[in-house]
Amino acid sequence: MSSIYFESNSNLSVTGRDRRVTATPAVESSIAPLAMPGLIIGLVLVGLGVVALLRLGDWAGSYGPVLVLLAYVFYMAAAVRLVLWGAVTVRSLHRR
């Protein structure tokens, strides 16, 4: 039978409090130049999502209300998140 042997090492912290992960600001991010196209695409996606409300009832009747509602909520959440990221990043870029 094999046994596991743990060697104590006093140099390593148990909780990892000495390691600090710092988030890079939106301005210094490598994808910051994509903020304006992301904002525009996000606004178009939100607009298409609002227009899709007209057909949502038909799709719910054909494919099931749970599936359609879940897909619509995920779609709109992703589109709104893209708009928010683009708006915050563009605002922080122009603030400098």
pTM score of the predicted model: 0.69
Contact 83, 42 (CB under 8 A): yes
* Cα(87)–Cα(36) distance, integer angstroms: 8
pLDDT at position 63 over 80:
yes
More confident residue, 3 or 14: 3
HSE-up (13 A, CA, CB side) for residue 76: 13
Q: For residue range 23-58, what is the model confidence (pLDDT) as tens digits?
A: 566 556 788 889 999 999 999 999 999 999 999 999
pLDDT value at residue 17: 54
Find tokens 């912290």 and name the residue: 13
Among 70, 79, 29, 10, smallest CA distance to 50 is for: 79
The dihedral built from the CA positions of residue 60, 65, 67 and 68, taken in this order, carries a sign that is positive
